[in-house]
């Protein structure tokens, strides 16, 4: 790391603290949602400077992209301004201060940033770096760890996304009672979308195929470069959200009907889990992709390809469904 | 062992996990419930087979993905694990079997597949936490089970369920985040996530600040999720406003699983390696446990709503479990662990009876229950017997754990006398709050004359009585839980110097 990089990281972290304080003190929820998007983007930049490109891509796509849109979707159903301040703010401040002090205390004996002799670099990490070419043979070691060595964690995380989707569909799936208020800042989910604004429409419609193409690249090139199912799913969902903004909610629903989305939400986790079961039936352990083909390395390739597809399908289906759930309530 | 037996440990998680996406696609009426119950029954069968294996001396160790620990994720099942698995899968099966009619009343038909899918995810998440031998993997399944539980609680018929869920969501997220911060700090200092490997590697850096901070974060985070007083604020309303059948399931096992993780983590990783950690653990938890027993029982004595009364009683019972474990002796630990099992039996039976009452009494306030014994004699009789088990009357399961707890406390010398006094005081308070319900149902004249008997649906009644009879059976024949809890305590203590 050059001195310049270190200074730049410190600069970004300072901005991060300022953004966090601004989020806490603002009473305007629209501003808070936007600031949290900025917060995520800053984090993503820091991750990238620390050479964690996969994490940076995920943070940028999820934190700065889709979650900001979902915040705004939720805002469209409530008011734009926070009402009376919540009670116990001082107590909360005290607790947060104590925890911050503890975390600072915990950093005193920690290994230096980028120290090659840090414990985290000496134990399992070298094994992953050394064995990945032999056992899995994909250039991106992060993908190897995520999809195979610790594939069971990723299965769990896929089901976390699935659970979130079920939760939103369950709670917001009912027809809303009465007329929800639509805040002036967020009429994005109107029936007509931005249909009367020619420039955004023309430019936006040009962008959508490229966004989808990039999503497919991120999905299938994840073994070689940063990316994978999570990021690709978010990018596909973002393109659908953009389409809904330009053409209106109704059009987006026609393109991807609710039944198909539900099928995607269920099919993704099933694809992942049943791959694991198939490995068991073929004589391996659960999620041991080596059993999928005669050559264990080929088996690993197939396994990673299938489960990444499962992750991508899950994330796409869940995020679009969540967006529709919010937007449908706002469009009245 | 045969190959089927070898895969059992992972099937405990895979069966409910994969049934969830299948269930949300089921359209026809009642099919989602049937599929969820069947999957629960399979999970329970797997838990029973695993327990039988553990009793015959097998320790299940399974490398997921075929990668050896610490490079891959390991699943382990031993005596302590099997106690927790029996409680989780048994509670889920009993609640689902009993709950069809009650849940039909709470959740409209169109949303039922989603609800039962979320139930399966909660079950799979809890099982996944319990069998995992990997610190980060525990966190992943914690997320699955927590999110799914929020959905289940939010399904409650009263609008206040949403506010209760939101409070639980914020608190639960803070607890899980604390746990994750701790795991991250430990990973930074040891470079491993596998618990057994962590226990070996942490000894070299045990006195360093990140590890000390990690210990604090992990214990406090898990205590928050386990509703150890004063971190229990989320629990009463979450239990009160959830659908009655969901309360049966969660009250029997959700907090217990967090206690399980705390025990597993603390004894395996911290106790043997950190200087004076045993004293700190004991001094931190014992006062909180005593406070929980006295204060929460006191609140339960004043409470007017039947479900909230039992929820506060749960906070008190968590105090008993914590009191046993804070003694750090084999006897104390096994008393705490057996109370995880016995309290699940007693509370499960009580909340099943409450679900029966809830079919005919909307608000479940004590003053509305007048004449309930005439109207629902079998349900109320079950409530009384389960209440006796909660109090700890001889001949019930509750007595076994109280007895073991008192004898473990007496071994501690003069401090033990104080502890025993608090345990007995707590039992007396339990007599008071159970009696208040009995008095309301049996001895108060109803507002209008109730002539007809309207019992709970037969399946609900059958499940309630099955739970009550289990309380009595394990009170008279406590051999199996005692054996399991003693083996569990021994395995927890074997990692200590």
Residue B416 has pLDDT above 60, yes or no: yes
pLDDT of residue A91: 87
Residue B462 has pLDDT above 70, yes or no: yes
pLDDT of residue A194: 61
Q: What sections of B191-243 are H helices per DSSP? A: 195-201, 209-225, 235-241
Q: Write the DSSP symbol of residue A178.
A: S
| Relative orientation angle of helices B377-391 and B414-442, to the nearest 10 degrees | 170
pLDDT of residue A165: 95
Judged by average pLDDT, the poorest of A172-186, B396-410, B428-442 is A172-186
Q: Between A51 and B1, where is the model more confident?
A: A51
The tens digit of pLDDT for each residue in B223-282 reads 999 999 889 999 999 999 999 999 999 999 999 999 999 999 999 999 888 888 888 889
Q: What percent of chain B has pLDDT over 70?
A: 98
pLDDT of residue B337: 95
As given in the structure block, the two tokens for residue A150 are 């610790």
State whether B205 and A119 contact (CB < 8 Å).
Answer: yes
pLDDT of residue B55: 92
Mean pLDDT of B33-62: 94
Residue with tokens 């609140």: B299
Q: Residue B191: which of A102, A120, A268 has the nearest Cβ? A: A120
- Find the closest chain A residue to B138 by CA distance: A153
The mean of the pLDDT values for chain B is 92
pLDDT of residue A331: 52
On chain A, the residues whose CB falls within 8 A of the CB of B66 are 284-285, 287-288, 290
pLDDT of residue B42: 97
Mutation target vs B (from A167, A278, A281, A313; most B CBs, 10 A cutoff): A167
Series of mean pLDDT values for 10-residue runs along chain A (332 residues): 89 96 90 95 94 90 88 82 75 90 90 84 90 90 92 96 95 58 43 68 89 93 84 92 84 87 95 95 92 92 94 95 82 50
How close B200 gets to chain A, by Cα (Å)?
12
Q: Residue A167: which of B18, B137, B151 has the nearest Cβ? A: B151
pLDDT of residue B204: 86
On chain A, the residues whose CB falls within 8 A of the CB of B216 are 102
pLDDT of residue A245: 83
Residue A62 burial (C-beta neighbours within 10 Å; 0-12, 13-18, 19+): buried
On chain A, the residues whose CB falls within 8 A of the CB of B128 are 156
CA dist., res. B47 & res. B16, Å (int): 12
Q: Residue A156: which of B111, B137, B154 has the nearest Cβ? A: B137
pLDDT of residue B263: 94
The tens digit of pLDDT for each residue in B162-197 reads 999 999 999 999 999 999 999 999 999 999 999 999
State whether B114 and A173 contact (CB < 8 Å).
Answer: yes
Residue B413 has pLDDT above 90, yes or no: no
How close A301 gets to chain B, by Cα (Å)?
14
| Relative orientation angle of helices B209-225 and B160-190, to the nearest 10 degrees | 160
Stated pTM of the model: 0.94
Tell me if residue B60 falls in helix, strand or coil: strand
- Find the closest chain B residue to A150 by CA distance: B72
Q: Output B406-411 pairs: Cβ under 8 A, ≥24 positions apart.
A: B407/B331, B407/B335, B408/B324, B408/B327, B408/B329, B408/B331, B408/B332, B408/B334, B408/B335, B409/B323, B409/B327, B409/B332, B411/B329, B411/B331
């Amino acid at each position: 790391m050059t001195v310049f990089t270190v200074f730049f990281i410190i600069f970004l972290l300072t901005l991060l603290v300022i953004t966090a304080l601004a989020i806490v003190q603002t009473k305007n929820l629209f501003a808070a949602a936007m600031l949290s998007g900025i917060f995520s983007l800053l984090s993503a930049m820091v991750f990238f400077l620390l050479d964690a490109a996969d994490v940076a891509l995920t943070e940028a796509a999820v934190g700065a992209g889709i979650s900001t849109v979902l915040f705004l979707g939720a805002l469209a159903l409530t008011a734009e301004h926070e009402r009376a301040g919540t009670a116990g703010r001082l107590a909360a401040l005290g607790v947060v201060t104590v925890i911050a002090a503890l975390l600072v205390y915990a950093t005193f004996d920690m290994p230096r940033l980028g120290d090659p002799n840090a414990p985290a670099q000496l134990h399992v990490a070298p094994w992953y770096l050394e064995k990945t070419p032999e056992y899995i043979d994909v250039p991106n070691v992060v993908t190897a760890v995520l999809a195979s060595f610790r594939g069971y964690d990723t299965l769990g995380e896929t089901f976390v996304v699935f659970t979130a989707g079920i939760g939103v569909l369950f709670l917001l799936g009912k027809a809303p009672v009465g007329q929800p208020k639509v805040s002036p800042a967020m009429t994005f989910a109107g029936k007509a979308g931005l249909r009367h604004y020619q420039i955004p429409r023309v430019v936006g419609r040009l962008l959508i195929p490229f966004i989808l193409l990039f999503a497919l690249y991120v999905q299938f090139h994840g073994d070689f470069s940063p990316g994978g199912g999570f990021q690709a799913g978010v990018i596909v969902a973002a393109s659908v959200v953009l389409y809904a903004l330009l053409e209106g909610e109704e059009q987006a629903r026609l393109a991807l009907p609710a039944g198909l989305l539900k099928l995607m939400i269920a099919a993704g986790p099933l694809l992942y889990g049943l791959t694991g079961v198939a490995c068991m039936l073929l004589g391996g352990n659960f999620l041991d992709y080596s059993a999928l083909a005669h050559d264990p390395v080929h088996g690993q390739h197939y396994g990673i390809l299938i489960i990444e597809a499962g992750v991508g399908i899950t994330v796409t289906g869940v995020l679009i469904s969540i967006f529709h759930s919010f937007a449908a309530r706002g469009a009245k | 062992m045969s190959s089927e037996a070898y895969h059992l440990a992972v099937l405990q998680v895979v069966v409910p996990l994969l049934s969830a996406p299948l269930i949300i696609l089921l359209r026809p009426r009642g099919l989602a419930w049937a599929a969820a119950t069947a999957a629960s029954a399979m999970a329970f069968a797997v838990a029973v087979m695993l327990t039988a294996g553990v009793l015959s001396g097998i320790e299940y160790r399974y490398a997921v993905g075929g990668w050896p620990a610490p490079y891959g994720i390991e699943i382990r099942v031993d005596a302590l694990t099997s106690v927790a698995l029996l409680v989780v899968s048994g509670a889920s099966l009993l609640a689902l079997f009993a709950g069809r009619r009650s849940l039909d009343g709470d959740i409209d038909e169109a949303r039922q597949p989603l609800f039962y899918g979320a139930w399966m995810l909660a079950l799979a998440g809890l099982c996944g936490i319990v069998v995992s031998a990997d610190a980060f993997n525990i966190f992943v399944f914690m997320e699955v089970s927590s999110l799914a539980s929020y959905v289940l609680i939010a399904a409650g018929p009263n609008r206040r369920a949403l506010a209760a869920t939101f409070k639980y969501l914020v608190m639960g997220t803070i607890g899980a985040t604390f746990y994750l911060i701790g795991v991250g700090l430990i990973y930074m200092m040891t470079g491993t996530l596998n618990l057994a490997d962590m226990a070996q590697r942490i000894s070299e850096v045990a006195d360093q600040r990140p590890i000390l901070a990690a210990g604090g974060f992990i214990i406090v985070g898990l205590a928050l999720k386990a509703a150890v007083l004063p971190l229990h604020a989320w629990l009463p309303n979450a239990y009160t406003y959830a659908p009655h059948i969901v309360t049966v399931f969660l009250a029997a096992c959700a907090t217990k699983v967090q206690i399980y993780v705390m025990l597993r983590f603390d004894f395996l990783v911290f106790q043997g390696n950190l200087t004076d950690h045993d004293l700190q653990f004991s001094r931190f938890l014992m006062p909180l446990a005593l406070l929980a027993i006295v204060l929460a029982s006191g609140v339960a004595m004043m409470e007017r709503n039947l479900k909230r009364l039992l929820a506060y009683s749960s906070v008190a019972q968590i105090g008993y479990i914590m009191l046993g474990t804070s003694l750090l002796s084999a006897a104390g630990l096994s008393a705490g662990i057996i109370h995880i099992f016995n309290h699940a039996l007693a509370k499960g039976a009580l909340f099943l009876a409450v679900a029966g009452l809830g079919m005919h009494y909307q608000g479940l306030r004590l003053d509305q229950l007048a004449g309930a014994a005439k109207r629902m004699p079998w349900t109320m009789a079950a409530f009384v017997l389960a209440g006796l088990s909660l109090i700890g009357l001889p001949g019930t399961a509750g007595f076994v754990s109280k007895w073991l707890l008192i004898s473990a406390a007496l071994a501690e010398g003069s401090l033990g006398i104080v502890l025993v006094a608090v345990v007995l005081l707590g039992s007396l308070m339990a007599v008071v709050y159970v009696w208040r319900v009995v008095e309301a149902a049996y001895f108060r004249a109803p507002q209008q004359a109730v002539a007809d008997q309207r019992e709970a649906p037969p399946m609900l009644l059958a499940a309630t009585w099955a739970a009550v009879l289990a309380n009595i059976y394990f009170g008279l024949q406590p051999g199996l839980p005692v054996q399991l809890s003693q083996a569990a305590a021994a395995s927890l203590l074997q990692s200590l110097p």
